[in-house]
Amino acid sequence: MPEGTARDVGTIFWNIVADGGATRARFDHRQFPNIRNGARVTYTDANGDGIAENVQPAAAVARLVARNAQAGALNPAGQTRLREFIMKELGATTSETGAVRQNRLRRLRAAVDKFEA
């Protein structure tokens, strides 16, 4: 999954930039209000149009991947499936709050712990 740094450019659409500063994608910050300016993010741009459909903090994705005891032993396809699963579930929590969000995150952590490719 690609990563970059979120940049507030003064509009509802923020940029995701590479380490060198080139724009890699854009995203609607209203859909991901918890993303902070300058945050390292993991994102998906499934149709390649330059608009990210899902943007999550890279550290959160990395922590969840690291929870899986087999993550280091997974082949590249297994690693990809694990990251896709995590991104999908984190994306679902974007619009949730309180106990509902916490319950989903708890279920996600349990599912990651048991994930097998």
pLDDT digits (tens, 9 = 90+) for 46-101: 999 999 999 999 999 999 998 887 767 788 888 889 999 999 999 999 888 999 99
Structural contact between residues 13 and 25, judged by C-beta atoms closer than 8 angstroms? no
Count of domains for the chain: 2
**Domain boundary, last residue among 40, 56, 72:** 56
Which pLDDT score, from 0 to 100, does residue 105 have? 94
| Angle subtended at Cα 16 by Cα 93 and Cα 96, rounded to the nearest 5 degrees | 10
Which pLDDT score, from 0 to 100, does residue 71 have? 63
Q: Which pairing describes strands 40-44 and 54-57: parallel, antiparallel, or unpaired?
A: antiparallel
Query: Does residue 46 sit in the same domain as residue 7?
Result: yes
% of the chain surpassing 90 pLDDT: 78
Domain that holds residue 104: 58-114
Query: Does residue 68 sit in the same domain as residue 52?
Result: no
Structural contact between residues 1 and 41, judged by C-beta atoms closer than 8 angstroms? no
Query: Does residue 66 sit in the same domain as residue 46?
Result: no
- Joined together, the tokens standing for residue 1 give 């999954």
